[in-house]
């Protein structure tokens, strides 16, 4: 019988039970060859998976977690990592030291959940602070109009139309009114002559209503309108208020879902009245109570 066949036979019997790894030492050069692939099961679990939704992350953790499993949360980075074979923490007593009670493990069974930001949130986040001319800003507002909850669509559309139409004008000044709006005064230029004077009212702020993270709740994200007039040219932009707070709040809700589960709204067709669906709520579970969740990260 060859060395490989002998190692296979041994690996399937006694060595699998004792946790030993079959190997041979070649006499020619003294090299050691191991035979992990001949074992019925691996001696050490080494697995890393990437999950794309909180629901799937919870399902995976609940399938493999034990009382020593740990979940680490990096809030601003949007990264959640479960180490399912984390070190065993034993019970201390007078007869055992701290070193004796704690048993290290390999920490090689990993579940990763990168909480992705939604495309619409990325779009409004990346545009915060960017300077637009009036035509660019009109096009941008038109593009993100479905994600704006304040001001109302009709008021916003009027602003977009005015910005698009009044391109041959000289802006003179801006006055903040009592209701918080800013009134911009401009003069239209008609055939190289000064024409009619007009006003453009823009709100003090806009409020976006978007999902920050994929699968999460919608949040109201306020942003302040800004403007600058230089030699008759108008520059417009907005600054999102407390951007990090919006990300943090959404991540905290995601972590709460992972820890405690959540109730989701379920609509079913109503045969008696199709316009009024039957609304129910379904509870989706979180991870097992014995899994510890900490804010932090591991390599």
Same domain? 242 vs 123: yes
| Residue 11 near residue 39, CB atoms below 8 Å | yes
Same domain? 32 vs 50: no
Same domain? 77 vs 179: no
Is residue 286 domain-resident?
Answer: no
Is residue 280 domain-resident?
Answer: no
Same domain? 64 vs 159: no
Q: Which domain holds residue 179?
A: 119-246
Tokens of 200: 């453009």
Same domain? 124 vs 213: yes
pLDDT at 79: 93
Is residue 29 domain-resident?
Answer: yes
Q: How far apart are CA 193 and CA 214, in angstroms?
A: 53
Task: Please tell me which residue, 267 or 167, carries the higher pLDDT value.
Answer: 267
Is residue 292 domain-resident?
Answer: no
Same domain? 92 vs 29: no
**∠ at Cα 184 (180, 189), nearest 5°?**
165
The predicted model gives 44-56 an average pLDDT of 89
Same domain? 186 vs 94: no
Res. 19: pLDDT tops 70: no
Same domain? 38 vs 50: no
Is residue 259 domain-resident?
Answer: no
Q: How far apart are CA 192 and CA 198, in angstroms?
A: 17
* Percentage of the chain lying above the pLDDT 70 cut: 68
Q: How far is CA 156 from the centre of its chain?
A: 29
| Residue 257 near residue 240, CB atoms below 8 Å | no
The predicted model gives 265-283 an average pLDDT of 71
How many domains does the structure of the chain reveal?
3
pLDDT at 44: 73
| Residue 173 near residue 205, CB atoms below 8 Å | no
Res. 2: pLDDT tops 80: no
The residue from 55, 88, 114 where one domain ends is: 114
Residue 291's closest CA among 64, 113, 79?
64
Same domain? 160 vs 143: yes
pLDDT one-digit tens code per residue, 235-260: 888 899 888 888 899 999 999 999 99
| Model confidence pTM above 0.85 | no
The residue from 114, 147, 167 where one domain ends is: 114
Task: Please tell me which residue, 271 or 50, carries the higher pLDDT value.
Answer: 50
Entry field: residues in the chain: 299
Ramachandran sector of residue 78 (left: φ over 0; alpha: ψ -120 to 50; beta: rest) = left
60-74 exposure pattern, b = at least 16 Cβ within 10 A, e = fewer: bbeeebeebbbbbbb
Integer CA distances (angstroms), 93 to 90, 99, 191, 226, in order:
10, 12, 93, 64
pLDDT at 10: 47
pLDDT at 12: 46
Tokens of 118: 């939604």
Residue linked to tokens 């035979």: 35
Res. 127: pLDDT tops 70: yes
DSSP string of 213-226, one letter each residue: BTTS-EEEEEEEEE
| Cis geometry, peptide bond prior to residue 295 (ω within 30 degrees of 0) | no
Is residue 137 domain-resident?
Answer: yes
Whole-angstrom distance between the N-terminal and C-terminal Cα of the chain? 45
Q: How far apart are CA 66 and CA 278, in angstroms?
A: 39
pLDDT at 166: 57
| Residue 269 near residue 279, CB atoms below 8 Å | no
Same domain? 202 vs 148: yes
Same domain? 140 vs 218: yes
Is residue 283 domain-resident?
Answer: no
Res. 108: pLDDT tops 70: yes
Is residue 254 domain-resident?
Answer: no
Same domain? 206 vs 124: yes
In this structure, the strands spanning 193-202 and 182-190 are antiparallel
| Residue 82 near residue 111, CB atoms below 8 Å | yes
In this structure, the strands spanning 70-74 and 47-51 are unpaired
């Amino acid at each position: 019988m060859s060395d490989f066949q002998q190692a296979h036979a041994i690996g399937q019997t006694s060595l699998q039970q004792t946790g030993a790894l079959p190997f041979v030492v070649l006499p020619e050069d003294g090299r050691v060859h191991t035979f992990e692939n001949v074992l019925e099961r691996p001696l050490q679990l080494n697995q890393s998976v990437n999950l794309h939704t909180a629901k799937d992350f919870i399902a995976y953790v609940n399938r493999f977690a034990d009382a020593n499993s740990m979940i680490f949360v990096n809030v601003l980075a949007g990264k959640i990592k479960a180490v399912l074979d984390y070190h065993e923490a034993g019970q201390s007593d007078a007869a055992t030291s701290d070193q004796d009670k704690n048993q290290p493990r390999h920490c090689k069974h990993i579940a990763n959940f990168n909480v992705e930001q939604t495309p619409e949130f990325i779009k409004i986040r990346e545009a915060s602070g960017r300077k637009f001319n009036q035509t660019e800003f009109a096009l941008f507002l038109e593009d993100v109009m479905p994600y704006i909850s304040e001001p109302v669509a009709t008021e916003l559309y009027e602003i977009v139309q005015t910005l698009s139409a009044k391109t041959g004008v000289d802006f003179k000044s801006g006055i903040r009114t009592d209701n918080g709006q800013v009134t911009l005064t401009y003069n239209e230029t008609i055939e190289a002559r000064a024409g009619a004077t007009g006003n453009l009212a823009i709100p003090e702020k806009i409020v976006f209503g978007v999902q920050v993270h994929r699968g999460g709740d919608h949040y109201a994200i306020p942003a302040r309108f800004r403007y600058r007039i230089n030699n008759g040219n108008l520059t417009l932009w907005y600054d999102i208020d407390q951007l990090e707070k919006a990300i943090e709040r959404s991540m905290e809700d995601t972590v709460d879902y992972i820890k405690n589960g959540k109730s989701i709204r379920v609509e079913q067709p109503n045969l008696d009245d199709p316009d009024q669906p039957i609304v129910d709520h379904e509870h989706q579970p979180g991870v097992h109570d014995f899994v510890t969740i900490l804010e932090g990260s591991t390599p």
